[in-house]
């Protein structure tokens, strides 16, 4: 059962910031509620000290999408259904939309917001690896003003971010991506539909005459916090695409995951799966690259 609590509905963004300032630390911001309400219902300890909820789900200011010359700004209050339905986002950031459409069920996607997915920062949050690959930033606002922080620096540890109590994330900023980038998203769950990720990987490649000019790889659920595998990216950049190269990159991801997580009971199962998944993903993406053949 959900404990007794106070519910406040914010009127607008200004009102939200004022309330967060006054009630410093004592109020939890609520959007779609798919993490908070299930957490309260199950008595999860990380939701144990919540007595006040500040509902921001209905704020139009958090639902805007603007397309600038060099970036997209996506409102943090957009639900995953709203993101999937937006053609501009689908064209510019197809991997984000592919990941979004694997999240939960229609019922969940109709409520869950992208901002909520970031703030909750679950290891298995499916939107994070595509956002990281797209070099996303978050716009953070408080009564003192606004700032932008790279998503990779914002996610601190599992279920935690660097958001202060008086701040909220208003937008996600995605730099424009050249059309020459090709990528894919892969998710492994315990079943095909409505599954929580055991592993998710996003890859984005830019190739010119078989030479990898840029390579971006991010993973979710394999490490405590979704992350970019920069050392593997560096291993690939500047090299000619070959089967041998893809194999060595995939082997390296196993080593890296082991380093981050330490040896666990699941390692013997998970590591080969991570390696094989990255390999398959790289092969598939390379096939899509014009004139690039992985022998």
Partner 1 sequence: MSHKIEFILNGKSVCINTNANRRLLDILREEFQLTGTKEGCSIGECGACTVLMNNKAVNSCLVLAGQVNGSEILTIEGVAKNGLHKLQENFLMAGAIQCGFCTPGVIMSSYALLLENSNPTEEEIKEAIAGNLCRCTGYKQIIKAIKDTIS
Q: Which stretches of the chain bind partner 1, using CB under 8 A?
A: 1-7, 9, 30, 33-34, 37-38, 41-42, 53, 55, 57, 81, 104-108, 110-111, 193-194
Side by side, the strands of the sheet bearing 71-75 are: 65-67, 71-75, 168-175, 137-142, 145-150
> 267-288 vs 243-261: helix axis angle to the nearest 10?
140
Q: How far is the CB of 290 from partner 1 (least distance, A)?
A: 29
Work out the number of other CB atoms within 10 angstroms of the CB of residue 113: 28
CA atoms of 58 and 73, how far apart (whole Å): 18
Q: How far is the CB of 271 from partner 1 (least distance, A)?
A: 29
Q: Nearest-5° angle of CA 4, CA 10, CA 11?
A: 145
CA atoms of 119 and 44, how far apart (whole Å): 16
**Whose Cβ is closer to partner 1: residue 84's or residue 283's?**
84
**Whose Cβ is closer to partner 1: residue 57's or residue 222's?**
57
**Whose Cβ is closer to partner 1: residue 53's or residue 271's?**
53
Q: How far is the CB of 38 from partner 1 (least distance, A)?
A: 4
**Whose Cβ is closer to partner 1: residue 5's or residue 211's?**
5
**Whose Cβ is closer to partner 1: residue 15's or residue 214's?**
15
CB contact at 8 A, 34 and 104: yes
Q: How far is the CB of 33 from partner 1 (least distance, A)?
A: 6
**Whose Cβ is closer to partner 1: residue 10's or residue 232's?**
10
CA atoms of 53 and 34, how far apart (whole Å): 14
Q: How far is the CB of 118 from partner 1 (least distance, A)?
A: 19
Q: How far is the CB of 156 from partner 1 (least distance, A)?
A: 26
Burial of 159 (0-12, 13-18, 19+ CB in 10 A): middle
**Whose Cβ is closer to partner 1: residue 85's or residue 150's?**
85
CB contact at 8 A, 96 and 125: no
Spacing of C-alpha 4 from chain mean position: 32
Q: How far is the CB of 1 from partner 1 (least distance, A)?
A: 8
């Amino acid at each position: 059962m959900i404990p007794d609590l106070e519910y406040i509905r914010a009127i607008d963004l200004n009102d939200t910031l004022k309330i967060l300032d006054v009630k410093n630390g004592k109020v939890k911001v609520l959007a779609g509620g798919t993490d908070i309400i299930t957490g309260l219902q199950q008595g999860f300890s990380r939701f144990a000290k919540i007595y006040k909820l500040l509902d921001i789900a209905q704020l139009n200011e958090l639902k805007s999408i603007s397309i600038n010359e060099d970036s997209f700004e996506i409102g943090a209050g957009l639900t995953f259904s709203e993101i999937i339905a937006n053609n501009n986002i689908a064209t510019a950031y197809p991997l984000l939309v592919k990941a979004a459409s694997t999240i939960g069920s229609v019922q969940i996607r109709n409520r869950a917001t992208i901002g909520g997915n970031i703030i909750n920062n679950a290891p298995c949050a499916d939107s994070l690896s595509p956002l990281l690959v797209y070099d996303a930033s978050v716009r953070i606002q408080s009564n003192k003003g606004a700032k932008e922080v790279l998503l990779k620096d914002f996610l601190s540890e599992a279920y935690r971010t660097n958001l202060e109590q008086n701040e909220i994330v208003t937008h996600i900023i995605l730099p424009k991506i050249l059309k020459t980038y090709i990528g894919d998203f892969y998710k492994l769950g315990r079943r095909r539909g409505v599954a929580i990720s055991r592993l998710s990987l996003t890859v984005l490649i830019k190739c010119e005459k078989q030479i990898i000019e840029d390579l971006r790889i991010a993973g979710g659920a394999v490490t405590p916090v979704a992350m970019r595998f920069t050392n593997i990216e560096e291993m690939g950049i500047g090299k000619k695409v070959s089967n041998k190269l893809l194999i060595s990159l995939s082997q390296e991801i196993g080593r890296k995951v082991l380093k981050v997580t330490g040896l666990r009971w699941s390692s013997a199962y998970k590591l080969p799966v991570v390696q094989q998944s990255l390999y398959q993903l790289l092969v598939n993406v390379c096939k899509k690259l014009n004139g690039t053949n992985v022998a």
